[in-house]
């Protein structure tokens, strides 16, 4: 089972990198759309009417697309003050506890987000200005959170979650 978990962890790492690249692309699109809107405002006298809406959607998508990579790299903001005083066993317990809390949050988030996503898809809800369907944009959130939850679960099973609470080195 541990070998399967390691392979799954590797596959999720590739998926996280793909999401991360899509996040960077979304950020580049944000810059491009804002520049185009500013140019349109100066040249034509009117900005692109959908700029704010599309930038907001891209920003949300970018944040959630980057989240699996942050989770994979254990780059979340962590308060390690308590962990620095604990033994190896205590840090392992703390890491497993943190994983359980993260899984509980992800589960709760998914329970709340999926009905909203289903509603948006069923009703074919669109944005106001640009008339974009919201379903695909909203789908990014639960997919990202589900991937993060799976990553945390695999990290707890394989024991690699403990590494995020190892004793800090001098100078960090």
- Is 172 a member of any domain? no
> CA–CA separation, 19 vs 72, rounded Å?
12
Higher-pLDDT residue of 121 and 91 is 121
Nearest Cα neighbor of 16 from 136, 109, 145, 120 is 145
CB 67 within 8 A of CB 95: no
Distance CA 21, CA 39 (A): 27
142 falls within a domain: yes
- On whether residue 170 sits in a domain, the answer given is no
Higher model confidence: residue 50 or residue 19? 19
Geometric angle at alpha carbon 168, from 163 and 172, rounded to 5°: 130
124: domain range?
Answer: 2-165
**pLDDT at residue number 77:** 79
Percent of the chain having pLDDT more than 70?
Answer: 93
What six digits make up the tokens of 171? 């100078």
**pLDDT for residue 91 is more than 90:** no
What pTM, to 2 d.p., does this model score?
0.85
Total tally of structural domains belonging to the chain: 1
**Is 171 part of any domain?**
no
At 111, the pLDDT band (50, 70, 90 cuts) reads very high
Which residue's entry shows tokens 């962890």? 9
Is 120 part of a structural domain of the chain?
yes
């Amino acid at each position: 089972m541990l070998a399967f978990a390691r392979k799954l962890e590797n596959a999720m790492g590739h998926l996280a990198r793909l999401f991360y690249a899509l996040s960077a692309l979304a950020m580049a699109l944000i810059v491009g759309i804002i520049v185009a809107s500013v140019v349109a405002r100066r040249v034509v006298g009117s900005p692109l009417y959908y700029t704010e809406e599309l930038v907001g959607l891209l920003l949300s998508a970018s944040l959630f697309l980057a989240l699996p990579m942050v989770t994979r790299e254990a780059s979340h903001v962590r308060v390690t003050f308590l962990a620095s005083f604990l033994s190896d066993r205590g840090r392992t317990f703390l890491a497993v506890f943190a994983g359980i809390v993260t899984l509980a949050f992800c589960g709760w988030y998914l329970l709340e987000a999926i009905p909203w996503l289903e509603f948006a898809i069923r009703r074919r809800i669109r944005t106001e200005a640009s008339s974009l369907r919201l379903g695909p944009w909203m789908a990014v959130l639960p997919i990202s959170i589900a991937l993060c939850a799976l990553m945390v679960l695999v990290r707890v099973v394989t024991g690699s979650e403990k590494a995020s609470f190892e004793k800090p080195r001098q100078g960090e």
